[in-house]
Amino acid sequence: MQVSVELSLYPLNNDFEQIILDFIEKLKDSSLEVQTNGMSTQVFGEMDIIMEKIGKAMKEVYAENKAILVMKMGKGTLKL
């Protein structure tokens, strides 16, 4: 099933920028479309792949940091 996911990661550290950039890199996959802007990251593609990527990336974030992840998901490719 194709979905659109909007993610905002809020690391609770002073070095938050690198943590966010590393998180976004871990989401990238040849079968997914990843778009970023100043407020969030949008990921479009197969739900199972996206959820696997988010889960793995968040485990790595939580292994070394405290952070909050805000996620919105909708069925289909929801682009403006």
pLDDT, tens only, 13-42: 998 999 999 999 999 999 999 999 999 999
Classify strands 33-36 and 41-46 as parallel, antiparallel or unpaired: antiparallel
Which pLDDT does position 60 carry in this prediction? Answer: 97
CATH fold, domain 2-75, is Alpha-Beta Plaits (3.30.70)
Distance from the Cα of residue 1 to its chain's centroid: 18
For residues 10 and 29, what is the distance between their CA atoms, to the nearest angstrom? 22
Which pLDDT does position 79 carry in this prediction? Answer: 84
Which pLDDT does position 3 carry in this prediction? Answer: 98
